Structure 1
Amino acid sequence: MASNAEAIYLASPVWLQNLLVTGMGYRLFQKRYTGLYHHLLQQARDAREWTPAQRETWQNQQLHRMVRHCRNAIPYYQRLFAEHGLHENDITALSDLHKIPPLDKQTVRENAEELRHAGEKPWLVQHTSGSTGTPLALGVNEHTYKLAMALVVDHEESHGVPFGARRATFAGRMVQPPDNMSPPFARYNRAENQRLYSAYHLNDQTFDWYRRDLDRFQPRELIGYPSAISELASCYLRSATEPKFQPKAIVTNSETLLDWQREKIESVFNCPVFDYYGTAEYLVFAGQDQSGLYRTNPLLGIAEVCTSEQQPDSGPILATTLTNTCMPILRYRIGDTATLESPRAPGSGPVSILKAINGREDDYIQTPDGRRLGRMDHIFKGVRGIREAQIIQTAPDHCTVKLVPEGLLEPSDSDTIRANFRKRVADAMVLTIEPVESIPRGRNGKFKNVIGMDGIDHGY
């Protein structure tokens, strides 16, 4: 909300806050789920059945069309293509994508005006900041925005949750001031049959209210940050209670879903977790299937993973829009990393399946010998009773694990964590385990599970 609207909301009684939330919900509903949306949702459903050949043919055609648009209408690309001697007919297939030099955030910031199509008004302007806090303002057209909305709905539908089913959301929304510990800790968006729960107020003292409210609401789906839903599951475990509702699926997003979080959530709610990955720039969408693999959607954009000889199965993601003619971004280094299903040689081109999303590029532990290690949650394998955990690299040869245990941290648990850590880094680094009562969130209430040396420099 804008500052004035937020002030009015916070000064209003709860009944009026619910009306304001619903009013905003109807406004967003009209922007997201009307007109062109219905065609795009059907297209998303149809694309699930495409063969690899159909998928490649579609993406080849859309890529060539986008490159032609960039050469004809986008000043930045007109200059870039001229400098590299590129014509749109040089890029007619996915295998030609490597000819376009990658984009980084700084380049986009410095050339934002030249990347915009002067003849097209944005449907919305998406503001992103990332780890540096320096904002990007990205113009997005209606097609791209509504397609992104359709892809989330399609992901939910494919896992048994129909549009409009009762949905409990645990994300970064501040439904009331953080120092107001009086219930209710949720507001209702009637437009989408959605109950918005505050992740900021959930603890052992307030959990009984959350438990009773969820039992009354009977959500068909839980959706939100993995850390928030994992904490909800922990509250059930610590209170020795069980949910009196049965969700069809749990959908997580916006943070890296860790294996121990998945295990805890699925055991408490007795249903599977299906994570999805989307970018704030509306460039890539990838949802987990029944096997746990992330399938990149062919309609929205193209994903590449920049592997290396040292790490042939993982690396940074490059993303290319296939739809956003308003501000086209080609081969954009978005700052996230992923692991592939199987190793690939450097420069092997676009991918359609990802084994795991590893988080930000600075969410790595770098060993003194130069190795970069992501997805460090493996060090907690075999340890029960973890409420939250965060790994921080404090020096080139030292890491600290901040651990919030469910109860007392057993010596055997510390030994297991240290042994698992040594399996990953050998004797190159020293590990300190620091039990704490809580771990602070970052921007928008998101939880960061690994803070590398770069993350510390960025002032997380």
Structure 2
Amino acid sequence: MTAGIVQRVYDGSPVWFQNLLVSAYGYNLYRKRYTGGYRELLEQVRRARHWDADEIEAYQSERLHEMVRHCRHSVPYYQSLFAKLGLTEQDFTATRDLTKLPILDKATLRAEPERFRAAGEQPFMIQHTSGSTGTPLALAVNRRTYQLAMALLVEFEEYHGVPFGARRATFAGRMIQPAECTTPPFARFNRAENQMLFSSYHLNDNSFPWYQQALEHFQPMELIGYPSAIADLANHYQQAGTRPGFQPQAVVTNSETLLDWQRTVIESVFGCPVRDYYGTAEYALFAGQDSEGLYRLNPVLGITEAIPDETTGAETATLVATTLTNTTMPLLRYRIGDTAQLPEPAYQPVRPASLARINGRIDDYVETPDGRRIGRLDHIFKGLNGIAEAQIVQDAKDHCTIKVVVQPDLDPAELRTLEDNLSKRTAGMLAITIQQVDRIPRGANGKFRAVIRELSAPQGTQAMDQA
């Protein structure tokens, strides 16, 4: 049965049967994610959180050596590359040896993906990227890597006080029901993981009372999903002048860059910390925030390099990742397409243990006419009142439009301050238009982008969504 037929059956079914279908799909995923060698992987992830630098280097060096040997013998692309460079696995005995290889760009992978597939290995699952550059990519993943990714999320939630199986409310990009159907309920229940899946497409002033009542009835221990969707929910609580009738242990965000103003409104409303995690569709990198707010890079899944990017400032680095587990379609020194900021003191390790913050995709920058890229512009909204949501769109080399969703109590002077804040950070080189809108449009996958550059630019990667 094709996905299209399944979707039509789901859409045409009553809500009670849709809940059964969601749970049946959930049980199927549960078997794929949490059986077989999953428990062993989870224990390894738990131990790895406490490894020191020497233990991390020893583990990663050994795994890198084994992965290079596998690539040289079984992966056509790397067989040609290693022969051309005159390298063997004996040349890779420490993580620093990775620099002997060129960086792999997304364009090369898209051009000949089959040459990265290991001979004789059947994938456990296929991960599809969004194809934001117009060329979708199917990534073959083995069972160990897929289940390791699940173990990483479970351990991350445990670390922040949410045990496996606790009630979880998810706000992500899933189409619970057609957008034009405005009749509740706007959530479906996945019994397999004790998970209530809420629609992010139906939340507005009219439907908010239903969401409020459903969440209070469900009493989730965790909210998890896109930061834009959970911040939108928090804004509705604020605008209604009410507090949640439940107390989550943590709010876990993923799949979008978490902005400072989103963190502020979420923590203020729900009275618990927001903990963000970052991963990639290529399953080569996982970084979750610790109690101090740093993104700790997990050493088991892959090796992460932070390459200085002169166009975005001395403290900004382009992320390059090497898989240590996915033998089916291994990627060595793969340019993810995202950037990050390193902890203080600024710019020391090439292979850092943690990241200070995730800046987002390379194209999520405003670029000035003189070639400077300005990222993390969410601070232009700091201290402003009456703005529920905003998005910066650079539609010309010398012009930006700021789309804003305003609250009824907005002081018009705040918009002038907002324009001035952006002008200061772009050296006055850009003309700025502020456009009031009813809602910021999301992408086809329901994701929110704080900055859109509608100019020719390198594209980033889709973050791994496991919520």
TM range (shorter): over 0.9
Contact 2:19 2:189 survives alignment (8 Å):
yes
Unaligned runs of 5+ in 2: 460-467
The 5 A counterparts of 1:212-223 are 212-223=213-224
Contact 1:364 1:451 survives alignment (8 Å):
yes
Q: Which residue of 1 aligns with 2:321?
A: 319
Take 1:309 and 1:433, find their aligned partners in 2: how far apart are those partners? 30
Q: Which residue of 1 aligns with 2:423?
A: 422
Q: Which residue of 2 aligns with 1:364?
A: 365
Q: Which residue of 2 aligns with 1:81?
A: 82
Query: What is the deviation of 1:315?
Result: 2.8
Query: What is the deviation of 1:222?
Result: 0.2
Count of aligned positions: 456
1:115-137 CA distances to partner (integer Å, 9 max, x unpaired)?
11121111111111342131111
Letter in structure 1 aligned against 2:332: L
SS in 2 for 1:256: coil
Query: What is the deviation of 1:455?
Result: 6.8
What RMSD, in angstroms, separates the aligned Cα atoms of the two structures? 1.5
Take 1:187 and 1:287, find their aligned partners in 2: how far apart are those partners? 27
SS in 1 for 2:442: coil
- Percent identity reads 59
2:334 to 328, 332, 335: 332
Contact 1:97 1:349 survives alignment (8 Å):
no
Take 1:61 and 1:133, find their aligned partners in 2: how far apart are those partners? 37
Change (3 A) 1:356 1:211: same
Take 1:237 and 1:379, find their aligned partners in 2: how far apart are those partners? 21
Deviates more, 1:359-368 or 1:190-199: 359-368
Letter in structure 2 aligned against 1:312: A
Q: Which residue of 1 aligns with 2:169?
A: 168
Take 2:375 and 2:428, find their aligned partners in 1: how far apart are those partners? 18
Contact 1:363 1:455 survives alignment (8 Å):
no
1:199-228 CA distances to partner (integer Å, 9 max, x unpaired)?
000000000000000000000000000010
Q: Which residue of 1 aligns with 2:26?
A: 25
Change (3 A) 1:271 1:100: same
Contact 2:286 2:298 survives alignment (8 Å):
yes
Take 2:386 and 2:90, find their aligned partners in 1: how far apart are those partners? 58
The 5 A counterparts of 1:118-267 are 118-267=119-268
Q: Which residue of 1 aligns with 2:304?
A: 303
Query: What is the deviation of 1:248?
Result: 0.2
1:78-98 CA distances to partner (integer Å, 9 max, x unpaired)?
101111222211121111111
Change (3 A) 1:455 1:18: farther
Take 1:352 and 1:170, find their aligned partners in 2: how far apart are those partners? 30
SS in 2 for 1:443: coil
Take 2:447 and 2:266, find their aligned partners in 1: how far apart are those partners? 18
SS in 2 for 1:287: strand
Deviates more, 1:141-150 or 1:130-139: 130-139
SS in 2 for 1:129: coil
Unaligned runs of 5+ in 1: none
Deviates more, 1:270-279 or 1:96-105: 96-105
Take 2:108 and 2:309, find their aligned partners in 1: how far apart are those partners? 23
Contact 2:395 2:455 survives alignment (8 Å):
no
Letter in structure 1 aligned against 2:219: Q
Take 1:378 and 1:167, find their aligned partners in 2: how far apart are those partners? 30
Take 2:455 and 2:67, find their aligned partners in 1: how far apart are those partners? 35
1:344 to 319, 344, 347: 347
Instruction: State TM-score, norm by structure 2.
Output: 0.95
Contact 1:253 1:277 survives alignment (8 Å):
yes
Contact 2:363 2:458 survives alignment (8 Å):
no
Take 1:309 and 1:279, find their aligned partners in 2: how far apart are those partners? 24
Deviates more, 1:322-331 or 1:131-140: 131-140
Take 2:53 and 2:93, find their aligned partners in 1: how far apart are those partners? 17
Take 2:315 and 2:379, find their aligned partners in 1: how far apart are those partners? 17
Deviates more, 1:196-205 or 1:430-439: 430-439
Misfit runs of 4+, over 6 Å: 455-458
Contact 1:167 1:193 survives alignment (8 Å):
yes
1:225-273 CA distances to partner (integer Å, 9 max, x unpaired)?
0010000001111111110100000000000100000000000000000
Take 2:416 and 2:330, find their aligned partners in 1: how far apart are those partners? 50
1:353-406 CA distances to partner (integer Å, 9 max, x unpaired)?
111111111111111121111111111111123211100112212211101112
Contact 1:174 1:198 survives alignment (8 Å):
yes
Change (3 A) 1:452 1:253: same
